Amino acid sequence: MDELTCPRCDSAMVSRPLGTGQVSQCPDGHGVFLERAELGNLIEAENDWHRNASQSTAPLPRITADMTAPPASRTPARAWVETLFR
């Protein structure tokens, strides 16, 4: 993929690997660019992520007096693509 510039701010877009392809991203957060085939790969990966995202939970542990609260966790991603930009 040739070096691209952001159509909004004219900054050079930063290219990075994504799965089996490349994605170019504006360093100022104005968007991303990827080739059509790579968009298809992202869609397939997104579908796989949803297919394999399990709603099952582990059994609750027995509560004892010496237990401490677990650390705060981040909100789970709504989609696989969302995990790329955290």
pLDDT tens digits along 30-84: 888 888 888 888 888 888 877 776 666 565 667 777 878 777 777 777 887 777 7
On the question of pLDDT at 5 being above 80, the answer is yes
Q: What is the pTM of this model?
A: 0.47
Domain boundaries, the chain: 1-50
Q: Output the pLDDT for position 58.
A: 60
pLDDT value, residue 56: 61
Sequence-distant (≥ 6) Cβ neighbours of residue 3 within 8 angstroms: 12, 13, 15
Residue 82 three-state SS: helix
In this structure, how many other beta carbons lie within 10 angstroms of the beta carbon of residue 14? 13
